[in-house]
């Protein structure tokens, strides 16, 4: 028995249902352009389909009472099946979670008791689908609402910058900090094509206070650097008179 007969016998014993690439249906270049040209011509000749329903008013009345927006991005987040999409499994889910049904939602009241007490004040959205497989890419995608690797990825503004520019008209002279504060978000997306004043003011909490809120060289030096009038000779002499004499 030669090699071809052995192969035929093996193939009959273990048939392969998938056709090889050269045995599959194919489209020649001429057929491809024929089909493509037909589709383009048909789309140009076809008239626009009328809209079935035209919505002129919003069915939900807008209260417009929001004063602040808190956007929490958990870069190292807990599992959603243990928190906002609880999946209780006997012997696996800790009993300290104390799961309970609140407003029709299965919720770990023992794990997040304060949120459980306020469950009627927020909405849980479970229809979000992540298209990115890399965490850093998905985190940026969540902030700008589009693919960061796309054409407009580098210039798309952070959702916080969008809120900041919308709330700019409501700011008062007594408000010191920018509208958009980003806590523990050193890698947060920027303002994109918006002006820099709507960029996230990135703050890392510390027992020493907020960094970059005071000048290290003192207020007088800062004012001279930004163009404030220099101190007069009289004020300089007064400051020297207040210094303690050298021992």
pLDDT digits 0-9 by tens, 205-232: 777 777 666 777 777 777 777 666 665 6
Non-local (6+) Cβ contacts of 97 within 8 A are 82, 86, 88, 108, 109, 110, 111
pLDDT for 247 equals 43
pLDDT for 113 equals 94
Strand partners, 105: 102
Token pair recorded at residue 63: 């209260």
On whether the CB atoms of residues 224 and 230 are closer than 8 A, the answer is yes
Residue 73: closest CA among 135, 14, 7, 139: 139
As a whole number, the mean pLDDT across the chain is: 79
Average pLDDT over residues 117-136: 82
Q: Greatest CA separation found in the chain?
A: 115
Q: How many whole angstroms separate alpha carbon 165 and alpha carbon 174?
A: 18
What one-character-per-residue DSSP string does 131-197 give?
--SSHHHHHHHHHHSS-TTSTTTTTPPPHHHHHHHHSGGG--TT--S-S-EEET-TT----TTS-GG
Q: State pLDDT tens for residues 151-199.
A: 888 899 999 999 999 888 888 888 888 888 888 888 889 999 999 889 9
On whether the CB atoms of residues 197 and 178 are closer than 8 A, the answer is yes
Q: State pLDDT tens for residues 92-115.
A: 888 899 999 998 889 999 999 999
Rounded to two decimals, the pTM is 0.51
């Amino acid at each position: 028995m030669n090699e071809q007969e052995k192969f035929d016998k093996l193939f009959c014993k273990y048939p392969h249902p998938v056709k090889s690439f050269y045995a599959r249906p194919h489209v020649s270049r001429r057929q491809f352009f024929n089909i493509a040209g037909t589709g383009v011509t048909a789309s140009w000749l076809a008239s626009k389909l009328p809209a079935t329903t035209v919505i002129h008013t919003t069915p939900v009345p807008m209260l417009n009472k929001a004063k602040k927006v808190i956007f929490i991005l958990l870069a190292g987040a807990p599992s959603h099946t243990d928190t906002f999409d609880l999946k209780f499994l006997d012997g696996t889910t800790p009993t300290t979670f104390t799961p309970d049904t609140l407003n029709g939602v299965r919720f770990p009241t023992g794990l997040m008791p304060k949120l459980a007490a306020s469950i009627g004040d927020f909405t849980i959205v479970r229809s979000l689908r992540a298209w990115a497989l890399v965490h850093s890419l998905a985190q940026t995608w969540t902030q700008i609402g589009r693919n960061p690797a796309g054409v407009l990825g580098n210039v798309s503004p952070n959702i916080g910058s969008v809120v900041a520019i919308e709330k700019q008209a409501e700011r008062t002279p007594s408000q010191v900090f920018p509208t958009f504060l980003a806590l523990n978000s050193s890698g947060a997306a920027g303002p994109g094509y918006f002006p820099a004043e709507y960029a996230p003011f990135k703050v890392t909490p510390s027992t020493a206070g907020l960094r970059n809120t005071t000048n290290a060289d003192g207020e007088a030096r800062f004012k001279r650097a930004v163009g404030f009038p220099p101190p007069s000779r009289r004020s300089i002499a007064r400051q020297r008179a207040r210094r303690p004499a050298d021992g």
